Structure 1
């Protein structure tokens, strides 16, 4: 049999073994997440009246893709470890070696499978996950009473919602601010429109103003023109609008990047920057998603290198300890660099790419040492 055909058969055998293990572990991990999320949602729903059990399960399923994405690197890691340890225990790696294959020749096909898995998840499942997460947040607000998002960004500008009681009628009313730009350093909005509507969305009042600044407990609106259905426009140089919003609430209310599809993130980042809002956290999320397929491929190489290192010792306990240590290492490094990137301590692209580069260098070093004896 020619070397090319032999390598093709062995590569396909190894990749198919890896894919079966990966799908099995993904199902197990996602099943555990679904169970724990369902229990947590049941606990939270016990404080509210008449939340159907089917609704709880639906919410847990909607939340599953976004939560599951966080554990995918560990799924890749453990799948690779199990795959290559199985090959080692069955002495199949010895057959690979005796066939003249180097470590890279049987690791790279599996690494490409890990890359393909990450690419499929990014291209197909991430947009689905964004839609499901968005729906989950709406259901969470409706059934569990969590705060709705106060801020929305679109091509038409920035929208800010505030709920309060009408001081005269004591009825609940909605106040919606619209501006093209917000200065978060000075908490100033220029060229604003303020719309007052009733709880039934009936128009009550409109304010067009030059600018507004958030003070402690109120908005100070400058050069305001006030319009109501019953009277003509009234001009006030300064108009004070009471608010229960805090600066922290507004910042935390920007859309969770997980609710936005990977393909829509560049437009969203552009809209944030055009509105004067820092997009570092969203850009960090975007670049992390972009590098994810490569990160999965590198994790495969690292996990395989650990198996090669321990295969000569035939020590399963040592491999287990190394796997757990590696999982904690990946988790710690990824989160540390993400935090540094978001807080402007590191360039965003470097913070997103560094875990993959560092993991690859460690894996290559281990393989080189193992291959040299």
Structure 2
């Protein structure tokens, strides 16, 4: 009797093991599902309680909700493409370059169409964007956040600050963006970049202000950039840089990149400069700046030694003076070292350009120069700065 029971038990175990082996080989999910079912029995989940009308702590939703409707997409087109001349970077294509983050462009031809961004700043349909977004465009289309599209016309642009002003004729426009004050911006403040990168649609990224008053970058003639690490990419040009209140503090312009994408160093034109240029364009159709007709050069140790000047001399060497120009008529000669303009010291070429540009043409500039080691005071009546030459 015992032998029969043992034989029966052995047969049952053998059949069970054979069935387990077959299931494990052919249908392993059956065993997994069964195990998971046994594991989750009796588990209690707790869900949070939310009020959809209340934003999450630390959220920038309110700032985005306030400013995003005023950010527009700009589509430009040309009748035909033509070969494009590119500036080199010293022969090393791996070197990081300052790039305008405009729409994707073929390497050897100007595009027949491109994409950028802009900011609606007034209920009359005035839009701020970058000069390089609309330069040489045959047609400009503006798409609002609600999907409506309109033809835009250029009121004016300023290539030396890379600001352009457009206008669209449309009814029931979204609320224009609120202009902020650059004095309220500080290094370390959180900022939001809004635009249309790579044409994927309106996008918001966040970062901090990395620096203020950044110049000597080599992008524009007149520079006073906000530097930020907010991710900005091709298509963001002309878009908004806003603070956490949703107020416009800058127009995104360029990035420092060796691959065309964001590397955490971006530049925006501060709103005070953009507003100044816009108001001048709206009033006069262009920007008028002072000019004296000199060829300035930054001082270095070798130049100071050759001029016989102390090594701590601060100023700008005027290596060339335009014959018959404002400076020449005021008594400036080549070789003079300009050390002050209207009582303010002149440290380098970039500062000199800004100082003279801010003087209305026709007004007098008091220049203090060093000539053969002696200090002289000269009065120069400024002229109107010529328009920059366009590159073909």
TM-score by length of 1: 0.21
- Tell me which structure has the larger Cα radius of gyration: 2
Higher helix proportion (structure 1 or 2)? 1
Greater RCO (CA < 8 Å, at least 6 residues apart): 1
Higher strand proportion (structure 1 or 2)? 2
